[in-house]
Amino acid sequence: MIKTILVRASDDESDSATYAAARCVARRFGAHIDGLHVRLDPVEVAVAMSTEGAGGTLLQGIIDSLERDADAGEAKARSRFMTFCSDADVAFIADPAKSVERPSAMFHVETGPVARWVCAYGRASDLVIASRGVPGGDAVARSTLEAALLETGRPLLIPAAAMPAPELADRVAIAWKATPEAARALAFAMPFLAHAAELTILTVEEDDGQRDENTRLVRYLGWHGITAHTEQLTPGPDGAAATLLAAAKAKSGLLVMGGYGHTRLREWVFGGFTQYALDHAELPVLMAH
């Protein structure tokens, strides 16, 4: 059951896709949306920016400028979130005891590292929705995705740039591989799968044992009252990931997949297939690690 959704409320255009996804999911499940805006700590940033030996007056000027920027960013993010709530007919409610029949929302503001606060709020949510950012561009967006996927223990929904709301839960594809990550993604996706009019399990041909895996998976879903069909794909010239994404785009409005990562120099980074999906998927992706 999805009853609480966390969205990162930034102050840029990426919010539009994030809010469109949140509206769709909240309407489908009657859920509450927590909008989280994270301000940078002006003192921390100013100290990092200042050169060695910078005077107190100069440092204070940097802090004051950053504080004004943070105030402006918060005001913009709050305004965009409130407009979203109004346009989507989402009630602004903070107390669960006062919940209403339609979706509700609340706006939260914290100060400090974005990823840390997204993880803190995400662990107390049923679903985290966050923008993938621009490939090779928004480092904060990408690091936030990595942290949300690998450190919250919750499913992560990454919207496409443009997402027709009716398709989100009606046609679903599962990128299946015999791994714990894929199994967890499937388990988290069950509320979506229960509403799907069409469900396709996509696998890339690897060995004969994969057919037995698919049979067991279809039987498992059948016990949950969910009908699925399978399709095995032969990798094309662009590789397995490109082949799978092309098939998912043609057959569904939502792709469910495991998110794979590993540690390097104490930082979480996405593995190759996950990175490719983030950079190239033209449909929303629901991931779990």
> d(Cα 283, Cα 185) in Å, to the nearest integer?
16
> d(Cα 239, Cα 165) in Å, to the nearest integer?
30
Torsion of CA 185, 186, 189, 191, to 10 degrees: -150
Quickly state the pLDDT bin for 190 (edges 50, 70, 90): very high
Q: What is the pLDDT of residue 43?
A: 78
Classify domain 4-158 at the CATH class level.
Answer: alpha beta
> d(Cα 248, Cα 69) in Å, to the nearest integer?
41
- Judged against a pLDDT cut of 60, whether residue 136 lies above it is answered with no
Residue 79, both tokens: 């305004």
pTM for this predicted structure: 0.89
- Express each pLDDT in 75-109 by its tens digit: 999 999 999 999 999 999 988 888 778 899 999 99
- Give the rounded percent of residues in the chain with a pLDDT score beyond 70: 85
> d(Cα 7, Cα 22) in Å, to the nearest integer?
7
What's the rounded mean pLDDT across residues 151-163? 85
- Express each pLDDT in 218-270 by its tens digit: 999 999 999 999 999 988 888 888 899 999 999 899 999 998 755 443 334 45
- Rg of the chain on CA atoms, in Å: 21
Residues ≥6 apart with Cβ < 8 Å to 61: none
More confident residue, 55 or 185: 185
Instruction: Name the CATH architecture for the domain at 165-288.
Output: 3-Layer(aba) Sandwich (3.40)
Within the chain, which residue ranges are assigned CATH 3.40.50.620? 4-158, 165-288
What's the rounded mean pLDDT across residues 157-167? 67
Across the chain, mean pLDDT equals: 85
Q: Which helix (H) or strand (E) holds 11?
A: none
274: nearest Cα among 240, 234, 233, 230: 240
190: nearest Cα among 166, 232, 225: 225
Q: What is the pLDDT of residue 5?
A: 98
User: Would you say 145 and 24 are in contact if contact means Cβ atoms under 8 Å apart?
Assistant: no
Residue 276 region, left (φ>0) first, then alpha (ψ -120 to 50), else beta? Answer: alpha
- Express each pLDDT in 27-68 by its tens digit: 999 999 999 999 988 877 767 666 555 556 677 787 888 899
Q: Which amino acid is at 238?
A: D
Q: Which amino acid is at 279?
A: D
Question: With the C-alpha atoms ordered 27, 189, 114, 94, is the resulting torsion angle positive or negative?
Answer: positive
